[in-house]
């Protein structure tokens, strides 16, 4: 498994260069040291480099998948390509609020962008934390936006606007993904200074994290999402999603979702009712014939197993997924 940690350090060094020019051309490095395998050409909308969405995107439920420099927009659950948002540099995480507005963390510039459901123009650009924003989540009780950053900061923006309040945890050197539960408690995963997995909770109204011990080893942080009364936690080193019940400072494993269908390199997944959506990359071939494959996989949740649907149009190094429901008519 190629680690996100390496990718983020590599991206940090490339930000100083002119966008992607110093990072191997059209995509940032997202793997272990060495040449990145090239994929066959992907058909894209001939739009002169501008963001676009089809008119029906405004009234459809939409799936947003972040890629290396774009965010592709699909009808959900059909998976029909309905748009492409452009001018990103290594977007890492996505989240959605109660109105269907979508937030996208842009690691390469230290910003978080907000779009209306089906829209092509940014309606908000939030600055900070500059040290590599990765995950995000919206508090369903307040509308506050949390952004977790690789530099060891979690920033919370009141009503998803303005200047954030920043939080740190002495046990976590690098934050990855985050999720709110239904009562406004925030959960985050990350790593300590020795790259060991860490998990913590910022309880509603608290100003300090509570560190939580999970009874299932996690090799490398991946996405986290509150689902029902449990929290789903991914592991970049294993094709599996775990579910935990949280009590105090402990997390007890209560479910396991195994992922087949070449599920290999994934980061932020999304659970939409009984469907798990997994942006995925896998590599075939050997030596000079290596080929990278990019896809969005649907799995039955929590059963897992073989993917029930596969999306490939417009994807290139996908990192995150989120579903935005169409506004009521």
* Alpha-carbon span 34 to 212, nearest angstrom: 36
In this structure, the number of other CB atoms found within 10 A of the CB of residue 252 comes to 13
Q: Which residues of the chain have pLDDT under 50?
A: 1-48
Q: What is the pLDDT of residues 48-87, one digit of tens each?
A: 489 999 999 999 999 999 999 999 999 999 999 999 999 9
CA distance 107 to 291: 26
- As to burial, measured by CB atoms within 10 angstroms (0-12 exposed, 13-18 middle, 19+ buried), residue 179 is buried
Give the pLDDT confidence score for residue 11 in this predicted structure: 46
Among 123, 15, 30, 113, smallest CA distance to 68 is for: 30
Element (H, E) at 37: none
At residue 92, the pLDDT reads 96
The pLDDT value recorded for residue 30 is 33
pLDDT of residue 8: 47
Strand 230-235 versus strand 240-247 pairing type: antiparallel
Q: Between the CA of residue 275 and those of 37, 257, 271, 286, 324, what are the distances in Å?
A: 30, 12, 6, 33, 14
Q: What pLDDT digit, counting tens, does each position of 115-170 carry?
A: 999 999 999 999 977 789 999 999 999 999 999 999 999 999 999 999 999 999 99
pLDDT at 131: 82
Write down how long the chain is: 329
Phi-psi label, residue 56: left if phi above 0, alpha if psi -120 to 50, beta otherwise:
alpha
The structural domains of the chain, ordered by start, are 39-324 (2.120.10.30)
Q: Who contacts 165 (Cβ-Cβ below 8 Å, separation ≥6)?
A: 155, 156, 158
The pLDDT score that the predictor gives to residue 10 is 44
Say if residues 66 and 73 touch (Cβ distance below 8 Å). Answer: no
| pLDDT for 40 | 29
């Amino acid at each position: 498994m190629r680690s996100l940690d390496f990718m983020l350090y590599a991206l940090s060094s490339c930000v100083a260069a002119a966008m992607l020019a110093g990072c191997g051309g059209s995509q940032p490095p997202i793997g272990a040291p060495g040449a990145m395998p090239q994929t066959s050409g992907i058909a894209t909308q001939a739009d002169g480099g501008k963001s676009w969405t089809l008119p029906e995107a405004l009234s459809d439920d939409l799936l947003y998948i972040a890629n290396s420099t774009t965010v592709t927009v699909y009808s959900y659950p059909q998976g029909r390509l309905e748009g492409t948002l452009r001018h990103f540099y290594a977007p890492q995480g996505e989240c959605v609020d109660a109105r269907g507005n979508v937030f996208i963390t842009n690691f390469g510039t230290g910003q978080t962008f907000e779009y209306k459901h089906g829209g092509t123009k940014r309606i908000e650009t939030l600055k900070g934390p500059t040290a590599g924003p990765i995950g995000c989540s919206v508090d369903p009780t307040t509308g506050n936006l949390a952004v977790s950053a690789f530099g060891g900061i979690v920033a919370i923006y009141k009503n998803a606007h303005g200047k954030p309040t920043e939080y740190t945890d002495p046990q976590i050197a690098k934050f990855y993904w985050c999720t709110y539960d239904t009562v406004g408690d925030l959960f985050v995963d990350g790593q300590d200074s020795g790259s060991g997995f860490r998990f913590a909770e910022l309880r509603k109204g608290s100003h300090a994290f509570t560190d939580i011990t999970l009874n299932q080893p996690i090799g490398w942080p991946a996405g986290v999402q509150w689902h029902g009364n449990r929290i789903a936690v991914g592991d970049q080193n294993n094709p599996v999603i775990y579910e935990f019940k949280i009590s105090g400072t402990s997390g007890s494993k209560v479910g396991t979702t195994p992922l087949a269908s070449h599920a290999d390199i994934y980061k932020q997944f999304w659970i939409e009712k009984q469907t798990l959506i997994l942006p995925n990359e896998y590599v075939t071939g050997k030596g000079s014939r290596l080929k990278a494959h990019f896809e969005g996989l649907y799995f039955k949740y929590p059963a897992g197993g073989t993917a029930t649907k596969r999306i490939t149009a417009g994807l290139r190094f996908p990192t995150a997924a989120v579903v935005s429901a169409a506004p009521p008519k």
